[in-house]
Amino acid sequence: MEERDFVDKNRKPMGETTTEESKITEGKYIQIVIICMENHKKEFLIQKRAQKKNGKWALTGGHVISGEESVHAILREVQEELGLQLEEEKIEFVFSKRAYDCFVDIYYTKKEVEILNLKLEKEEVETVKWMSLEEIKTWREKNLFLDYHYDCLQECIYFLEKIAEGEKENV
């Protein structure tokens, strides 16, 4: 059973751990990572979560385990869930936000992935596919896509656009 570190509202380690089964009490937070993986067609790699994980479509991600850095957690989650090894220098940290009882670090990468070559962790992931933002939005409206992951995807795109605009202004 994986342990997770508790951090406070300022993301400072509290010296306490928890497990997935434990309830998170007020004033304590855990850390989560999500990656927005985009191909050259401006489609995003999404995964259908296993039925025991609610069976909805979502981005790839998971929890930061005790003692682990956020960037290593996203690399591990992608490897575990998809059998895909990403290079740390090819993923970009986009932003972090506090939500509910966790801090979420959102990463981004452009990557061409052949779905048939992925080795899915069946306990976590039922299937994967590439989808446009509009298709994902439609699935969200039909309650097929996790709202929270959709919000993270939209925020990721927004931040990347703002960064690109800022770079253009400085040229």
What is the secondary structure of 51-90 as a DSSP string? GGGTS-EE-EEEEPPTT--HHHHHHHHHHHHH--PPPGGG
Q: What are phi and psi of 124, to 5 degrees?
A: -110, -40
Helix (H/G/I), strand (E/B), else coil: 119: coil
Question: Hey, which residues does 129 pair with through a beta bridge?
Answer: 46
pTM for the predicted model, two decimal places: 0.91
Task: Please list the pLDDT of the chain residue by residue as tens digits (171 residues).
Answer: 789 999 999 999 999 898 887 888 888 999 999 999 999 999 999 999 999 989 999 999 999 999 999 999 999 999 999 999 999 999 999 999 998 889 999 999 999 999 999 999 999 999 999 999 999 999 999 999 999 999 999 999 998 888 778 764 544
- Provide the Cα torsion 80, 82, 85, 86; round to 10°: -110
Is 24:99 a contact under the CB 8 Å cutoff? no
pLDDT digits 0-9 by tens, 66-111: 999 999 999 999 999 999 999 999 999 999 999 888 999 999 999 9
32/88 Cα distance (integer angstroms): 17
Residue 168 DSSP code: H
